[in-house]
Amino acid sequence: MAFAVVDFETTGILPSHHHRVVEIGITHVSDDGEITGRWETLVNPERDLGPQHIHGIRSSEILNAPTFSDVAGEFAELLQGRVFVAHNASFDLRFLHAEFERTGTAITGNTPHLCTMRLGTNFGLGPRASLARACERHGIELARAHTAGDDAHAAAQLLSSYRQSSATWPGWDEFWARTSQAGQLFVYPTGPRTGVPWQPRIDVSAEPPSFLERISAGTVNEEADGAATQYLALLDRCLLDGHISVSEGAQLAEAAAMLGLTRDSVASIHRDYFIELERRAWADDVLTDNEIADLRRVGTLLQLSEAEVKAAVDAERPTELSAVAQASFALRPGDVIVLTGDMARARSAWEADLLARGFRPHPTVTKKVTLVVAADPDSLSGKAKKARNYGIPIVSEDGLRRLLDQARP
């Protein structure tokens, strides 16, 4: 037992500002520098994910991930008897102590630790060398920067390189032995192992399962009156931004079960809805390339056949618009709109744009709010949670752009 190399991805930089851990990576390194084990998991921070453009974690990935309390017991066991190591260790130590304190099992005393960034000054690196720069200098591959598992594993290889390079240097054997002993004597708080499995980050190229797979193929409940109309209304709101988020997919599956709709009946509703989308696209007598792309994307989301999608994007104009299409969601002057999350465009710019168009930006979610706009539609922010409870649609920034374009005179 010797070293536990850790990396945290977080919602921000200050635990004192309620920022939380969203991913843990940990790699074990033996006394002689051999890598002996690797673990990683996403963590549900029970709040919004902060700068997603940095860590790349989507809200849909952490909806069913364990909380820190769920994994704290097992994580503590993986740290037990080892020196805590991280690249820029002061950052990770702040979150380590803050997260354990939140579980009610605070870490007491000074945690024995090493910082591979500070150690780098002894191995040809500057005092503030990034992990990527340090890995490049030592010929270590860092495949996916800002993923906790890969960052921890790369920092572990860096530590191993330091250990092996210094093997013949005067005084360094004593330094490693003394440090290792301090780790062996330190006691982390013990807590119950909840049995909640760790959930590593999924392959970003993997397609998530369709929400349709969650809808029963057979009858579960008696079909409710107006079930198709109610399901259509929810589907229309879920597709405001041309995308069905994981949260929205769960709502659709739950609604189908509650309304007594089978998978076949839902598929029929989807086909009818898709035809209405085609009619909406033809409302101005032109089917643009962007509209064709939107139809193809939605057809895929609804799991329609290629033949059905092709029929919708041909040059033939469909019949007149139906009442379903005419009753679709649209923004109107005076509507109240709430913005939440770390957006690509400055929030002040969005608010100015909304005001200029006659809408009312609002800081909090109430039942009078028409729309919530989130950087990530699966956001776990308090505003997004309240919007779902009230049945208020949540769209991305792209979805807001589309709705604003449609609302132009």
pLDDT value at residue 311: 79
Q: Of 169, 168, 151, 148, which is closest to residue 159 (Cα–Cα)? A: 151
Question: How many Cβ atoms from other residues are within 10 Å of residue 19's Cβ?
Answer: 18
Note the pLDDT tens digit of each residue in 146-166.
899 999 999 999 999 999 999
Note the pLDDT tens digit of each residue in 130-144.
999 999 989 998 888
Residue 354 lies in a domain: yes
Question: How many Cβ atoms from other residues are within 10 Å of residue 37's Cβ?
Answer: 12
Residue 405 lies in a domain: yes
Task: Report the interhelical angle of 347-356 vs 397-407 (nearest 10°).
Answer: 10
pLDDT value at residue 306: 85
β-partners of residue 42 are 23
Residue written as token pair 């090493």: 114
Query: Measured in whole angstroms, how far is the alpha carbon of residue 221 from the centre of its chain?
Result: 34
**pLDDT, mean of residues 304-311:** 83
Clarify whether residues 84 and 126 are in a common domain: yes
Clarify whether residues 178 and 213 are in a common domain: no
Per-residue pLDDT band for 353 (boundaries 50, 70, 90) equals: very high
pLDDT value at residue 264: 86
Task: Report the interhelical angle of 227-238 vs 246-259 (nearest 10°).
Answer: 180
Type of residue found at 363:
P
Residue 162 lies in a domain: yes
Number of structural domains the chain divides into: 3
- Of the chain, the end-to-end C-alpha distance in Å amounts to 70
> Of the residues 306, 327, 348, which one is the last residue of a structural domain?
327
Clarify whether residues 334 and 241 are in a common domain: no
Clarify whether residues 152 and 274 are in a common domain: no
Please tell me the distance from the alpha carbon of residue 351 to that of residue 345, in angstroms, as a whole number. 10
pTM: 0.69
Note the pLDDT tens digit of each residue in 38-69.
999 999 999 888 888 788 898 888 888 999 99
Residue 159 lies in a domain: yes
Percent of residues in the chain assigned helix, strand, coil, to nearest 5: 45, 10, 45
Clarify whether residues 152 and 63 are in a common domain: yes
Q: Of 3, 37, 8, which is closest to residue 162 (Cα–Cα)? A: 3
Clarify whether residues 159 and 68 are in a common domain: yes
Residue 191 lies in a domain: no
Measured between alpha carbons, how far is residue 401 from residues 131, 219, 287, 407 in Å? 38, 39, 19, 10
Q: What is the mean pLDDT of the chain?
A: 86
> Of the residues 132, 153, 185, which one is the last residue of a structural domain?
185
pLDDT value at residue 305: 85
Clarify whether residues 20 and 144 are in a common domain: yes
Residue 30 lies in a domain: yes
Q: What is the DSSP string of 207-228?
A: PPPPGGGGS-SS--SPPPTTHH
Query: Measured in whole angstroms, how far is the alpha carbon of residue 190 from the centre of its chain?
Result: 29
Residue 195 lies in a domain: no
Clarify whether residues 143 and 247 are in a common domain: no
Residue 200 lies in a domain: no
pLDDT value at residue 74: 95
Note the pLDDT tens digit of each residue in 251-279.
888 888 888 888 888 888 888 888 877 87
Pairing of strands 336-340, 360-362: parallel
Clarify whether residues 118 and 17 are in a common domain: yes
Judge whether residue 323 has pLDDT over 50.
no
Per-residue pLDDT band for 220 (boundaries 50, 70, 90) equals: low
Note the pLDDT tens digit of each residue in 67-105.
999 999 999 999 999 999 999 999 999 999 999 999 999
Q: What is the percent of the chain with per-residue pLDDT over 70, rounded to a whole number?
A: 92
Kindly tell me the sign of the dihedral angle through the C-alpha atoms of 182, 184, 185, 188. positive
Per-residue pLDDT band for 319 (boundaries 50, 70, 90) equals: low
pLDDT value at residue 328: 63
Clarify whether residues 162 and 262 are in a common domain: no
Domain at 127, CATH number: 3.30.420.10
Q: Residue 389: phi, psi to the nearest 5?
A: -65, -35
Measured between alpha carbons, how far is residue 129 from residues 88, 115, 141 in Å? 9, 12, 16
Clarify whether residues 305 and 337 are in a common domain: no
Judge whether residue 372 has pLDDT over 90.
yes
Q: What is the percent of the chain with per-residue pLDDT over 90, rounded to a whole number?
A: 43
Question: Which residues, at least 6 apart from 230, have a Cβ–Cβ distance to it below 8 Å?
Answer: 224, 255, 259
Clarify whether residues 373 and 250 are in a common domain: no
Residue written as token pair 């809808």: 215
> Of the residues 281, 312, 327, which one is the last residue of a structural domain?
327
Question: Which residues, at least 6 apart from 19, have a Cβ–Cβ distance to it below 8 Å?
Answer: 10, 11, 12, 13, 50, 95
Q: Could you tell me which residue, 305 or 184, shows the higher pLDDT?
A: 184
Largest Cα span, the chain? 86
Measured between alpha carbons, how far is residue 332 from residues 323, 328, 374 in Å? 19, 12, 19
Pairing of strands 113-115, 83-86: parallel
Per-residue pLDDT band for 327 (boundaries 50, 70, 90) equals: very low
DSSP helix/strand/coil, 162? helix
Domain limits at 15? Answer: 3-185
Please tell me the distance from the alpha carbon of residue 81 to that of residue 59, in angstroms, as a whole number. 34
